[in-house]
Amino acid sequence: MSKPDISPPPLRNDCFALPAGVNWTPVDDALALLRDRLTVVTGVESAPLMQAAGRILAEDVQAKRSNPPQPNTAVDGYGFAGPVADGPCVLPLVEGRAAAGVPFGGKVPSGHAVRVLTGAALPEGVDTVILEEDVTLDQGHIAFRGPLKKGANARKAGEDVVEGALALPAGRRLTPADLALLSAIGLAEVSVYKVLRVGVLSTGDELVEPGDIAAPGQIYDANRPMLLSLVERMGFEPVDLGSAEDSREALEHRLNHAARQVDVILTSGGASAGDEDHVSALLQEAGAMQEWRIALKPGRPLALGMWDQTPVFGLPGNPVAAMVCTLVFARPALTLMAGAGWQEPQGFDVPAAFEKRKKPGRREYLRARIREGRAEVFHSEGSGRISGLSWAEGLVEIEDGARDIQPGDPVRFIPYGSFGL
Ligand code: AMP
Ligand code: MG
């Protein structure tokens, strides 16, 4: 499993270019562009099974061994050669027993039975097991009532996974259950993508660190703790790039440093076209910036660019828009760059507990949660309402067209969990 320590080629500088003449890009078109243009950017390494939870498989995994490796008993009882016809049945017992990990040495003659315990390999001459609760034991014999099918209460070799079969595909993010599977089929080590390093940078003269004294006009940096923890929950390596004042030099310095340290940069704030929007201005200057005006609420233009071969997602400053844009756009892009492929969040149609009339032209995401089987939405749609983000347990997605939603109408709810949180 030794491989050279190399990474795939960098993304192209024009990877975020929009088709000419596009004004407001529908959400699905924007997602399709990201999906087409981005590729895996991390290298591959080997990870011990015990440390592989949450890692992304870089190769298909074939079973080295069948599960179960040999036929065994699913219950405590007595094994013999089946089937058994309708009616009473009495069988002599052979000496000895078969237990998990301690096989029965000999062969069980036809017409005889042997004591077996759950998980024991079936001895030669045994293919069927009767539960101990269904048996009377006396004078070295067992008595029970048929019928019993051949193979009853026994597990066949490979009935779960056959040696050589594909057990898990490349791109799979390993779950705790996957580790059980990998271990059962004989793997001790897996080939995985290196963890994608995602830098998070806040921008704005108004920002102060949590705990510092905030002068009038200053606000606490709410995006950085949120984005760093989103990145971590989504299974990437968060890298705190701090916060930068609204000056081109400060930002340039930070980006230069960050591009050497991380695979992707998420910035928040300064991404529009105003005087103090230095993220977009800098990326523009570098000649590798695209302003995506996405038909989406909440969301300002998304600034996408390349800084020294490192993709930069310029997220809106408003925390609500920053989180929604991260979940909707950055997450699938990051999973793709990390090797897990493009992942659409699983949503569920549930009855609305609210009323809303919406004009056509853009998609909307409402902060929502499920109570008594219905989707409730936060009482305000204001994009500065951080408490609503915290109140919510997911998003209601309302399609691009017009809608007049009445209580009880179906709406699409996407739990935060569907975004990997
Ligand atoms: P901007 O995109 O820089 O124009 O910022 C839009 C709004 O989001 C402004 O009200 C900013 O003060 C606010 N904002 C920007 N960055 C943050 C942050 N890290 N934490 C909280 N609010 C922010
Ligand atoms: Mg700003």
Q: Which CATH superfamily is domain 72-155 in?
A: Molybdopterin biosynthesis moea protein, domain 3. (2.170.190.11)
pLDDT score of 287? 66
- Which atom of ligand 1 is found nearest the CA of 223? 19
Q: Of 249, 221, 214, give the one whose Cα is nearest residue 322.
A: 221
Residue 68, preceding peptide bond in cis (omega within 30° of 0): yes
DSSP character at residue 40: -
Per-residue tokens: 268: 């928040």
pLDDT score of 292: 81
- Residue 313: name the closest of 208, 198, 234 by CA: 198
Where, residue-wise, is CATH 2.170.190.11 in the chain?
72-155
> Among all ligands shown, which has an atom nearest to the Cα of 322?
1
Cα–Cα dist 152/166, whole Å: 28
Q: What are the angstrom distances between the C-alpha of 46 and each of 10, 135, 193, 324, 368?
A: 22, 51, 8, 34, 40
- For residue 380, count other CB atoms closer than 10 A to its CB: 11
Nearest atom within ligand 1 for CA of residue 268: 16
The answer to whether 195 and 47 are in contact (CB under 8 A) is no
Whole-number Å distance, alpha carbon 324 to ligand 2 midpoint, is: 18
Could you tell me the pTM of the whole model? Answer: 0.90
- The two tokens of residue 89 are 């049945």
The segment(s) of the chain belonging to CATH 3.40.980.10 are: 24-43+195-338
Please check whether residue 225 is in contact with residue 202, taking contact to mean a CB–CB distance below 8 angstroms: no
For the record, the structure tokens of 324 come out as 């929604």
Span(s) in the chain for CATH 2.40.340.10? 348-419
Give me the residues near ligand 2 (ion), CB cutoff below 5 Å.
204, 269-270, 317
Q: Cβ contacts of residue 177 below 8 Å, gap of 6+?
A: none
Ligand 1 binding residues, C-beta < 6 A: 202, 204, 206-207, 219, 221-224, 268-272, 316-319
Output the pLDDT for position 384.
85
Each residue of 47-70: pLDDT tens digit? 999 999 999 999 999 999 999 999
Considering the four listed CATH numbers 3.40.50.970, 3.40.50.300, 3.90.79.10, 3.40.980.10, the one that applies to the domain covering 24-43+195-338 is: 3.40.980.10
Which atom of ligand 1 is closest in space to residue 246's alpha carbon?
3
Give residue 372's identity as a one-letter amino acid code.
Answer: E
Length of the chain (residues)? 421
3-state helix, strand, coil in the chain (%, to 5): 20, 35, 45
pLDDT (tens digit, 9 = 90+) per residue, 253-278?
999 999 999 999 999 998 887 788 88
Asked if residues 72 and 155 have their Cβ atoms less than 8 Å apart, the reply is yes
List of E strands, 160-203: 166-168, 189-193, 197-203
Distance from the alpha carbon of residue 327 to the mean position of ligand 1, in angstroms: 18
The SS3 call for residue 320 is: helix
CATH number of 348-419: 2.40.340.10, 2.30.33.40, 2.60.40.10, 1.10.1740.10? 2.40.340.10
The rounded Cα 97 to chain-centroid distance in angstroms is 45
Distance CA 228, CA 200 (A): 6
Question: What is the CA(307)–ligand 2 centre distance, in A?
Answer: 19
Given ligand 1 and candidates 219, 220, 229, 275, which is best to mutate, with the most ligand atoms within 8 Å of its CB?
219
Q: Which two tokens stand for residue 31?
A: 């997602």
Whether the Cβ atoms of residue 383 and residue 298 lie closer than 8 Å to each other: yes
- Which DSSP symbol is given to 417? G
Span from the CA of 261 to the centroid of ligand 2 (angstroms): 24
Mean pLDDT, consecutive 10-residue segments, the chain of 421 residues? 77 72 82 93 97 98 97 98 96 97 95 97 97 96 97 97 98 98 98 98 95 95 98 98 93 94 95 82 77 83 88 94 96 98 96 95 95 97 91 97 96 97 93
